[in-house]
């Protein structure tokens, strides 16, 4: 008797019935549904750790800069037009950190006398300046003067900006009255941070869903477009500087002469991490700040002293920066 005949006599079957197969597939689908969120959470946890480490390396570079030169770098460097707007060259704070973050070769390619848009080095991407959780991140972005003209150049994108405080960095009237640590043309000494370096923001995240950011510099006359509010925009300094408020000019009186839109969210901080964003502090620390943080706390952390730009002891309260 062969094996097939024996199986037939014993009532043995060759495989699963359709009902059994459906049960097995249902169990597998249920297990996959349970495991997928766990896998996604684990992946985000790993991406989040990379992002936190990126900001840590940047803040360590800032401290190396302070140790070598006695100051934090200026937010960006530019000559001024008669109306107070930028005239270039526009090289930003991140460029000054290159020698202190093991990027001496790139730093040697920078001619700080030439406009940033005229240098090919502006297209160099650095992995340590990109958050892996930013779903919309692109290595190269267009730098435009307005929404309709062709881009004046392309530039390598970044995920991190320096804190200008509670003023809007693109306002041509008040951008030099910044109450944070990084602004145009002024390298700040640690002694000027009277709130204490552990209580003062240095850097933070900017996700592409809100607006773009770059590390290299500010193209004079460029505009930063608000990805959440089509048609709204901010000025070029917003590419490298971030503020803890996002609505209007209520801490910066412009008398209606500023050319930038008044309701742009483009210059705020933000991330694609669930629940908040990473910030680097002036003492070198890195903390994850939750998106339900009290706006008054966030504004107090953004200022380098207890007195804000308009001379108020308590900074004006704005909405959450996320």
pLDDT: which is higher, 265 or 312: 265
For 285, the domain range is 53-302
Q: In this structure, are strands 160-165 and 241-243 parallel, antiparallel, or unpaired?
A: parallel
Give me the pLDDT at residue 216, please: 98
27 pLDDT more than 50 = yes
Cβ contact 180:302 at 8 Å: yes
User: What mean pLDDT, rounded, does the chain reach?
Assistant: 84
Strands (E), 61-182: 76-80, 86-92, 140-143, 153-156, 160-165
* DSSP assignment of 67-93: HHHSSPPPSEEEEE-TTS-EEEEEEEH
Q: Does 280 fall in a domain?
A: yes
In this prediction, residue 196 carries a pLDDT of: 92
**Percentage, residues of the chain above pLDDT 90:** 57
Name the band, by pLDDT with cuts 50, 70 and 90, for residue 35.
low
The answer as to whether 28 is a domain residue is no
Tell me the per-residue pLDDT of 250-288, one tens digit each, with 9 for 90 and over.
344 445 545 455 567 788 899 999 989 999 999 999 999
- C-alpha distances in Å from residue 269, one per residue of 170, 207, 241, 317: 15, 8, 9, 16
- Distance between CA 200 and CA 12 in Å, rounded? 75
DSSP labels for 98-131? GGGTT-HHHHHT--TTS-GGG-GGGG---GGGS-
Per-residue pLDDT at 238: 94
Q: Is residue 205 part of a domain?
A: yes
Is position 26 within any domain?
no
**For 194-211, b where at least 16 C-beta lie within 10 A, e where not — what string?**
ebebebbbbbbbbbbebb
The answer to the question of residue 319 being in a domain is: no
Cα gap 4→148, rounded to integer Å: 77
Distances in Å between the Cα of 217 and the Cα atoms of 52, 116, 179, 256, 306 are 23, 6, 21, 27, 29
Question: Coil, strand or helix: which one is 167?
Answer: coil
Per-residue pLDDT tens over the stretch 223-243: 999 898 887 888 899 999 998
What pLDDT is stored for residue 140 in this prediction?
97
Strand partners, 86: 80
pTM of the model: 0.83
Which of 128, 133, 129 minimizes the C-alpha distance to 41? 133
Would 201 be classed as within a structural domain? yes
> Residue 310: its pLDDT value, please?
56
- Cα(90)–Cα(79) distance, rounded to whole angstroms? 8
Residue 127 lies in a domain: yes
**Total domains present in the chain:** 1
Tell me, yes or no, whether 131 lies in a domain. yes
DSSP state of 201: E
DSSP H or E stretch at residue 286: strand 286-290
DSSP class of residue 166 equals S
What are residue 140's DSSP bridge partners? 156
User: What's the confidence (pLDDT) of residue 6?
Assistant: 44
């Amino acid at each position: 008797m062969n094996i097939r005949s024996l199986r037939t006599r014993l009532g043995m079957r060759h495989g699963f019935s359709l009902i059994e197969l459906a049960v097995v597939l249902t169990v597998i689908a249920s297990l996959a549904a349970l495991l997928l969120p766990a896998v996604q959470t684990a992946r985000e946890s790993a991406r989040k750790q990379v992002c936190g480490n990126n900001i840590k390396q940047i803040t360590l570079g800032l401290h190396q800069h302070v140790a070598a030169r006695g100051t934090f770098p200026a937010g960006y460097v530019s000559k001024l037009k008669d109306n107070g707007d930028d005239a270039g060259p526009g090289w930003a704070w991140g460029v000054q950190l290159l020698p202190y973050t093991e990027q001496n070769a790139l730093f040697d390619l920078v001619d700080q006398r030439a406009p940033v848009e005229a240098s090919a080095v502006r297209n160099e991407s650095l992995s340590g300046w990109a958050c892996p959780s930013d779903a919309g991140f692109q290595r190269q972005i267009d730098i435009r003067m307005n929404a309709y003209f062709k881009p004046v150049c392309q530039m390598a994108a970044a995920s991190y900006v320096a804190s200008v405080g509670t003023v809007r960095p693109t306002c041509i009237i008040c951008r030099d009255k910044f109450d944070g640590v990084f602004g145009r043309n002024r390298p700040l000494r640690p002694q000027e941070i009277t709130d204490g370096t552990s209580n003062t923001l240095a850097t933070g995240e900017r996700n592409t869903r809100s607006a773009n950011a770059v590390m290299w510099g500010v193209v004079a006359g460029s505009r930063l477009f608000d990805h959440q509010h089509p048609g709204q925009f901010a000025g070029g300094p917003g590419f490298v500087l971030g503020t803890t408020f996002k609505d209007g000019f209520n801490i910066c009186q412009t008398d209606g002469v500023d050319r930038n839109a008044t309701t742009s969210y483009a210059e705020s901080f933000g991330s694609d991490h669930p629940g908040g964003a990473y910030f680097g502090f002036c003492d070198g620390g890195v903390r994850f700040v939750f998106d339900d943080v009290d706006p008054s706390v966030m504004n107090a952390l953004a200022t380098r002293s207890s007195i804000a730009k308009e001379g108020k002891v308590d900074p004006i309260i704005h909405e959450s920066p996320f």
